[in-house]
Amino acid sequence: MSELANLTTMEVSALTDVDRGLNLTDGHARLFLSPEQATIVDGIPDMFAEASRRPFPEIELEAHTAFLHAIGQHSAPIGTGRILSCYSSTLATDILARALPSGATIAVLHPTFDNIADLFVTRGLKLVPLSEEALLAQEWPAPPVRAIVVTHPNNPTGLITPEGHLRSLAEHAARHGQIVIIDASFRGQVRDAQYDTYAVLDAAGADWVVIEDTGKLWPVHELKIGLLAYSEGLDLPIERAFSESLLAASPVVLQLVRALAEDWGKGGYERARDLVEGNRAAVRAAIEPAGLRLADPHSQISVARIELPPDGPDSSLLYKDLVGRGVHVLPCAPFHWADPATGLRLIRVSLARPHETVETGARTLAKAYLELSAS
């Protein structure tokens, strides 16, 4: 694997491993369907029939309503035409990146998933990092920063932007003519992150863009939707950029999202939460005998960072060794997109996997670390 490989390249390598190594890379739910979810999936043929009979806007409206209400976003602009359905949150981010003025300076949370920064840079934007420490201290970037990008909850740390902090940011942005951009791809996993951010943003009078994602919640093999929502009066050509990228999301997938979101509010969230937290505990139990610990013990999202001691192998070496043992994880340097060296002592594992997979992967990681340290 090249030193310049991004995180998605590593995730693709895990997904396409011909030797069927354990894939603990991406944050997608790679689980077995629950009985409730299996019943919903069994109804997909009926969804195809519905897609042929019913108007697309009607199907889309139902999906937006079910999903956004299931994750607490009751003030989202549902039915206004200001929520666009994309194939994925990555596509939504790219559409936004093309709509922002080329050459503009934007502040992006650091660390966070590297493709967010990569997409903005590719589209000609200048990036400056906003550290989590600065966010928590409410030290907001001033102009010439045109937009401020926050991941909520943050991937990989699990940091939730508190409601009062978001209000402070939105009020700051409104005063300075900046745009607040929120990537909320992991929001559905964490109740604490589900305060109504749309209400906060609108009350502050800020220009805003919010990206939502269904892909982290349910094991439906990339049958997902990314939502691109934006404030009234936002002076960006988002609809034009959208039209250059796609015609529409699938009405079948929108129906699937609606049904799964309804199940999410009827016990699905709790079932998924119990599994993730059980897997987090299994990782902790497996790594502590090797002198390792969770970097973010209070994180609630479906990934976990493991902190590596300063006197042992770094995550780049450990990653390569684990691939040789048939276990795929993510070294954290690429998350630290503005200063990769600060991520060398951290490695990330996904928890949205069957319990045995996570437990085996964590034990292998601990064993590999000890053996590398002794060599």
Q: Are residues 271 and 258 in the same domain?
A: no
Query: Which of residues 229, 244, 262 is at a domain's end?
Result: 262
Structure tokens at 239: 């609809």
Q: Does the residue 105 lie in any domain?
A: yes
What percentage of the chain has pLDDT greater than the value 90?
98
CATH number at residue 362: 3.90.1150.10
Q: What is the mean pLDDT of residues 218-236?
A: 97
The residue among 262, 295, 330 that closes a domain is 262
For 126-164, how does the pLDDT look when each residue is reduced to its tens digit (9 = 90+)? 999 999 999 999 999 999 999 999 999 999 999 999 999
Would you call 309 helix, strand, or coil by DSSP? coil
Q: Are residues 80 and 213 in the same domain?
A: yes
- Same domain for 121 and 243, yes or no, is yes
40 lies in some domain: no
The pLDDT tens digits of the residues spanning 55-113 come to: 999 999 999 999 999 999 999 999 999 999 999 999 999 999 999 999 999 999 999 99
Could you tell me if 142 and 278 lie in one domain?
no
The verdict on residue 245 lying in a domain is yes
pLDDT in tens, 250-269: 999 999 999 999 999 999 99
Over 70: is that where the pLDDT of 188 sits? Answer: yes
Q: Is the pLDDT of residue 1 over 70?
A: no
Residues 304 and 221 in one domain: no
Same domain, 130 and 236: yes
Q: In this structure, are 282 and 258 located in the same domain?
A: no
pLDDT band, residue 4 (cuts 50/70/90): low
CA 180 to chain centre: 17
pLDDT-derived band at 375, boundaries 50, 70, 90: confident
Instruction: Write out the residue range of the structural domain in which residue 314 sits.
Output: 7-34+265-374
pLDDT of 268-320, one tens digit each?
999 999 999 999 999 999 999 999 999 999 999 999 999 999 999 999 999 99
Task: For residue 213, give the 3-state DSSP assignment.
Answer: strand
Residue 162 is assigned to a structural domain of this protein: yes
Do 169 and 207 fall into the same domain? yes
**What are the residues whose beta carbons fall under 8 Å from the beta carbon of 197, sequence distance 6 or more?**
73, 152, 166, 182, 184, 210
Q: Kindly report the three-state secondary structure assignment for every residue of 217-268.
A: CCCCCCCCCEEEEECCCCCCCHHHHHHCCCCCCCHHHHHHHHHHHHHHHHHH
User: Which amino acid is located at 6 in the chain?
Assistant: N
Whether 225 maps to a domain, the answer reads yes
Number of domains forming the structure of the chain: 2
86, 226: one domain: yes
Q: Please, which residues bridge with residue 349 across strands?
A: 304
pLDDT tens string 331-368: 999 999 999 999 999 999 999 999 999 999 999 999 99
Both 255 and 271 in one domain: the answer is: no
Least confident residue range of 4-8, 51-55, 165-169: 4-8
Residue 2 in this model has a pLDDT that exceeds 50:
no
Which residues does residue 109 pair with via DSSP β-bridges, in sequence order? 130
Q: Give the pLDDT confidence of 21-67 residue by residue, as tens digits.
A: 999 999 999 999 999 999 999 999 999 999 999 999 999 999 999 99
Please compute the mean of the pLDDT values over residues 247-252 and round it to a whole number.
96
- Cβ–Cβ under 8 Å, residues 120 and 181: no
197 and 317, same structural domain? no
CATH number, domain at 205?
3.40.640.10
Q: Residue 291: what pLDDT?
A: 97
Please name which of 216, 143, 227, 131 lies closest in space to residue 179, comparing C-alpha atoms: 143
Q: How far apart are the first and last CA of the chain?
A: 22
Is position 39 within any domain?
no
Residue 102 forms part of a structural domain: yes
User: Last residue of some domain: 239, 262, 285?
Assistant: 262
Residues 243 and 269 in one domain: no
**pTM more than 0.95:** yes
1 belongs to a structural domain: no
How far CA 288 is from CA of 261, 293, 312, 320, 365, in Å, comes to 36, 6, 15, 21, 11
SS3 state of residue 33: coil
Q: What is the mean pLDDT of residues 230-255?
A: 97
